[in-house]
């Protein structure tokens, strides 16, 4: 897949360009300083949801990825990260992840419901906590708003793409 994307990870914004040869070029956006995540990464499929990623130093890691609305859950070296990805943004565009519905990134069990219907949440607040593959996955509000509906209960087995909560 070819294309350009904006990545947001741990408060940093990077531009990524994916080439047809499996090389992903990551670099800072205009006017931003270079970072540790910049460079050319060779990415090749390994198994269902897993990728072999070779970084600029030549080190190769197995990376597991689960797509979700507005980004991806990434598991690498025992850590789980949320990477928000969207088309390369142009001035005035609404950032990705601005929808009001929340869903699971992968099949999971609802461990706890943190926010209740009618409560106000800020962008990034945890609304639900899920468990999948022995990992706790916080589901965060993509924007500030009021919880319009909670569509799951603690203990429910939920599937990706199914709305779990709505924020207005």
Per-residue pLDDT of the chain (168 residues; tens, 9 = 90+): 456 777 776 667 778 887 777 788 888 766 667 776 788 888 887 776 678 889 888 999 888 877 666 677 777 777 777 776 655 443 333 333 334 578 887 788 899 999 999 999 998 899 999 888 778 888 888 889 999 999 999 999 887 777 899 998
pTM for the whole structure:
0.47
Starting at the edge strand found earlier in the chain, the sheet holding 101-103 runs 101-103, 163-167, 145-150, 120-121
Residues of the chain with CATH 3.30.700.30: 3-87
Residues of the chain with CATH 2.40.50.100: 101-167
| Distance in angstroms (rounded) separating the CA atoms of residues 152 and 168 | 17
| Distance in angstroms (rounded) separating the CA atoms of residues 133 and 135 | 5
Which fold would CATH assign to domain 3-87?
A: Glycoprotein, Type 4 Pilin (3.30.700)
Q: Nearest to residue 55, comparing CAs of 42, 72, 68?
A: 42
Residue whose entry in the numeric block shows the structure tokens 């009618």: 118
Which fold would CATH assign to domain 101-167?
A: OB fold (Dihydrolipoamide Acetyltransferase, E2P) (2.40.50)
């Amino acid at each position: 897949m070819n294309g350009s994307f904006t990545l947001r990870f741990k408060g940093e914004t990077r531009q990524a360009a994916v080439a047809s040869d499996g090389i992903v070029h990551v670099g800072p956006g205009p006017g931003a300083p270079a970072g540790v995540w910049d460079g050319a990464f060779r990415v090749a499929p390994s198994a269902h949801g897993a990728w072999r990623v070779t970084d600029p130093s030549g080190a190769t890691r197995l990376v597991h990825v689960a797509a979700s609305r507005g980004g991806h859950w990434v598991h690498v070296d025992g850590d789980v990260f949320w990477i928000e990805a969207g088309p390369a943004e142009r001035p005035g565009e609404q950032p990705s992840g601005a929808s009001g519905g929340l869903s699971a990134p992968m099949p999971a069990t609802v461990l706890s419901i943190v926010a209740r219907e009618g409560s106000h949440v800020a962008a990034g607040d945890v609304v639900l906590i899920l468990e999948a593959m022995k990992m706790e996955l916080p589901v965060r509000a993509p924007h500030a708003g009021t919880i319009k509906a909670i569509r799951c209960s603690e203990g429910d087995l939920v599937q990706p793409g199914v709305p779990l909560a709505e924020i207005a």
